[in-house]
């Protein structure tokens, strides 16, 4: 027996699915209180305890229906005692505070290799302007100004005691990088920025030990990026690293079961959406500007409820074949998600739609490394498979989600 639910925070509504056994055993009693869901079929009993901050209003049940091979669908009003905004952003503040601590280590999230030199300590951790701020510099004044144009062409260069942060990366001086751990790979990649007529060049940085993508570094076409002192700054992706502090094991591993890349992508989408007031996105690869996916952010205030899985088990497909048939009491897990409509850019119909979106001023382009584009599609497809089949399509788009911290 499985339980699946989607909470829409802005209207305090829960769409609940109770997945039953097959048709010949589908007769069961369903008892719902404000704190738990009980299922009885004469032979077995299941009790699902709701999270402490979620309370159902049983009398508000409506839109009750039965879907073959899934079970009972229904909608409830709820009371959601959500966390405060200060609690939601405590992890980000902890990350900033930890970077100024002499006893903290920035390590590779995959193999735990130290990214920075020993005893590296930052006196300042500064938040940068919004992503792609150079493209908006010309809007800072009502008339053209060469001084403002020069700002867009300049880059912010950190000193050895400075660390810059934006929504996706941290930027540090190359002199604090552990040269034995990070290496450059591949040929320089060219990216043309709207605020600069000249294409910018950069190389990818990878971990020597596990070959995970760590970040990138700006360079000239003939630069030898192994000479760290010739670089002005190094950009390290936040999802690729962790903070390890003496006495505290991995400060950012509170939700170890959630892949760091998924959390990074969900927060990045929200950041871009708020910055540009956009909800539809074209995902392009940084290397060749190829369009990989169309994404439509439809709900950023949603929570996902699922009956508890085994600790060593990833999210399984939601169907009668993957039910927890062991009776007893279990807890319902809750996590905050960003719900998304998406389509991979394959086939003539989707390619034509991508062309239409490209001409729409309300659509924003997101440029990511090609590897991350593929990872994004894989995460969305995997999460889609964990939803009830009847909820996996909407308006000719696939329905997916990305989990937040």
Looking at the predicted structure, is the pLDDT value of residue 363 above 50?
Answer: yes
From CA 401, how far away is CA 391, in angstroms rounded? 12
* Statement to judge: residues 54 and 168 lie in one domain: no
185 has pLDDT over 80: no
Structure tokens at 261: 């890349």
| 33/171 same-domain check | no
Q: Are residues 155 and 191 in the same domain?
A: yes
Does residue 15 fall inside a structural domain?
Answer: yes
pLDDT higher at 259 or 278? 278
Interatomic CA distance for residues 118 and 236, integer angstroms = 17
**pLDDT at residue 132 in the model:** 60
| Residue reference for tokens 């007893």 | 328
pLDDT of res. 202: 75
Are 92 and 78 in the same domain? no
Average pLDDT estimate for 43-57: 86
- The H-or-E segment that residue 120 falls in is none
> H helices of 214-366, where?
260-276, 348-358
CA distance 260 to 348: 34
Least confident among 145-159, 348-362, 387-401:
145-159
Check if the beta carbon of residue 62 is closer than 8 Å to that of residue 84: no
What pLDDT does residue 139 have?
66
| Mean pLDDT for the stretch of residues 38-45 | 80
Average pLDDT over residues 146-167: 76
What total of structural domains would you count in the chain? Answer: 2
Asked whether residue 89 carries a pLDDT value surpassing 60, the answer given is no
Residues 38 and 98 in one domain: no
| CA–CA dist 99, 109 (Å, integer) | 16
pLDDT tops 90 at residue 291: yes
3-state SS of the chain is: CEEEEEEEHHHCEEEEEEECCCHHHCCCEEEECCCEEEEECCCCEEEEECCCCEEEEEEEEEEEEEECCCEEEEEEEEEECCCCHHHHCHHHHHHHHHHCCCCEEEEECCCCCECECCCCCCCEEEECCCCCHHHHHHHCCCCCCHHHHHHHHCCCCCCCCEEEECCCEEEECHHHECCCCEEEEEEEEEEECCCCCCEEEEEEEEECCCCCEEEEEECCCCCCCCCHHHCCCEEEEHHHEEEEECCECCCCCCCCCCCHHHHHHHHHHHHHHHHHCCCEEEEEECCCCCEEEEEEEEEEEEEEEEECCCCCCCCCCCCHHHCCCCCEEEEEEEEEEEEEEEEECCCHHHHHHHHHHHCCCCEEEEEECHHHHHHHHHHHHHHHHCCCHHHCEECCEEEEEEECC
Contact residues for 209 (Cβ-Cβ < 8 A; gap 6+): 108, 111, 113, 181
The answer to whether residue 252 sits within a structural domain is: no
Which secondary structure element, helix H or strand E, spans residue 253, and what is its range?
none
168 assigned to some structural domain: yes
Q: What number of CA atoms fall less than 13 Å from residue 334's CA on the CB side? A: 21
Least confident window among 34-48, 100-114, 182-196: 182-196
Same domain, 153 and 225: yes
Highest mean pLDDT: which of 38-52, 97-111, 180-194? 38-52
Where is pLDDT greater, at 96 or 293?
293
Among 245, 274, 306, the domain-final residue is: 245
CA distance 353 to 367: 18
Q: Indicate the pLDDT class of residue 92, thresholds 50, 70 and 90.
A: low
pLDDT value at residue 342: 96
144, two tokens:
């053209």
Contacts of 292 (CB under 8 A, 6+ apart): 283, 284, 285, 344, 345, 370, 373, 374, 376, 377
Same domain, 97 and 59: no
SS3 362: coil
pLDDT tier, 75 (very low <50, low <70, confident <90, very high otherwise): very high
CATH number at residue 169: 2.170.150.20
pLDDT of residue 223 exceeding 90, the answer is no
Residue 388 forms part of a structural domain: yes
Which tokens in the block code for residue 13? Answer: 């509504």
Asked if residue 251 belongs to a domain, the reply is: no
User: Which of the listed residues 245, 268, 292 is the one where a domain comes to its end?
Assistant: 245
Looking at 245, 275, 293, which one is the last position of a domain?
A: 245
**What does the pLDDT average to over 180-202?**
62
Specify whether 320 is located in the same domain as 391. Answer: yes
Q: Are residues 154 and 239 in the same domain?
A: yes
CA distances from 15 to 8, 248, 382 (A): 8, 39, 21
Q: What is the pLDDT of residue 252?
A: 44
Q: Same structural domain for residues 114 and 201?
A: yes
* Residue 378 in this model has a pLDDT that exceeds 60: yes
Asked, for residue 250, whether it belongs to a domain, the answer is no
Q: Are residues 51 and 93 in the same domain?
A: no
Whether residue 56 is contained in a domain is answered as yes
- Find the range with the poorest average confidence among 30-34, 90-94, 139-143: 90-94
For residue 179, what are the domain limits? 87-245
Contact 137/205 with Cβ under 8 angstroms?
no
**132-141: average pLDDT:** 65
Residues 95 and 70 in one domain: no
Q: Stretch 70-93: mean pLDDT, rounded?
A: 69
The CA distance from 259 to 335, in Å, is 13
pTM score of the predicted model: 0.74
- pLDDT-wise least confident of 54-63, 238-247, 269-278: 238-247
DSSP lists the bridge partners of residue 244 as 105
pLDDT of residue 225: 47
Q: Is the pLDDT of residue 80 over 80?
A: no
Of the chain, the end-to-end C-alpha distance in Å amounts to: 27
Confidence of residue 7 (pLDDT cuts 50, 70, 90): very high
Query: Is residue 111 within 8 Å of residue 212, measured between CB atoms?
Result: yes
Name the residue among 343, 358, 360 with its Cα closest to residue 296. Answer: 343
In this structure, is residue 288 part of a structural domain? yes
Residues 188 and 152: their CA atoms lie apart, in Å, by 22
């Amino acid at each position: 027996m499985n339980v699946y639910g989607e909470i829409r925070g802005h209207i305090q509504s829960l769409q609940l699915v109770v997945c039953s056994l097959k048709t010949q055993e589908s007769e069961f009693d369903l008892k719902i209180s404000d704190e738990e869901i009980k299922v009885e079929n004469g032979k077995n009993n299941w009790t699902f305890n709701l999270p402490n901050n979620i309370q159902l209003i049983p009398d508000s049940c409506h839109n009750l229906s039965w879907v073959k091979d899934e079970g009972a669908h229904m909608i409830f009003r709820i009371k959601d005692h959500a966390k405060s905004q200060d609690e939601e952003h405590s992890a980000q503040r902890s990350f900033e505070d930890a970077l100024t601590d002499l006893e903290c280590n920035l390590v590779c999230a995959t193999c735990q290799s130290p990214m920075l030199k020993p005893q590296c300590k930052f006196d300042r951790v500064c938040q940068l302007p919004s992503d792609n701020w150079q493209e908006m510099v010309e809007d800072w004044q009502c008339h053209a100004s060469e001084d403002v144009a020069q700002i867009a062409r300049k880059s912010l260069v950190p000193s050895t005691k400075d660390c810059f942060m934006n929504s996706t990366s941290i930027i540090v001086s190359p002199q604090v990088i552990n040269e034995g751990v990070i290496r450059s790979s591949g040929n320089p990649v060219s990216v043309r920025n709207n605020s600069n007529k000249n294409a910018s060049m950069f190389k990818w940085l990878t971990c020597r030990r596990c070959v995970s993508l760590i970040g990138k570094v700006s360079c000239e076409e003939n630069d030898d990026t192994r000479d760290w002192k010739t670089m002005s700054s190094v950009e390290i992706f936040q999802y690729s690293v962790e903070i390890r502090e003496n006495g505290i094991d991995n400060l950012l591993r509170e939700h170890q079961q959630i892949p760091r890349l998924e959390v990074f992508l969900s927060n990045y989408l929200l950041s871009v959406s708020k910055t540009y007031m956009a909800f539809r996105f074209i995902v392009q690869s940084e290397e060749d500007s190829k369009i990989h996916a169309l994404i439509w952010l439809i709900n950023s205030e949603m929570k996902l409820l699922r009956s508890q899985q085994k600790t060593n088990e990833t999210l399984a497909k939601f169907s009668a074949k993957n039910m927890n048939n062991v009776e007893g009491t279990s807890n319902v897990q809750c996590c905050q998600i960003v719900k998304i409509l998406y389509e991979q850019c394959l086939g003539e119909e989707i390619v034509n739609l991508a062309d239409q979106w490209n001409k729409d001023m309300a659509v924003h382009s997101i440029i990511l490394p090609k590897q991350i584009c593929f990872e994004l599609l894989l995460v969305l497809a995997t999460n889609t498979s964990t939803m009830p089949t009847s909820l996996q399509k909407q308006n000719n788009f696939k329905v997916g989600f990305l989990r937040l911290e």
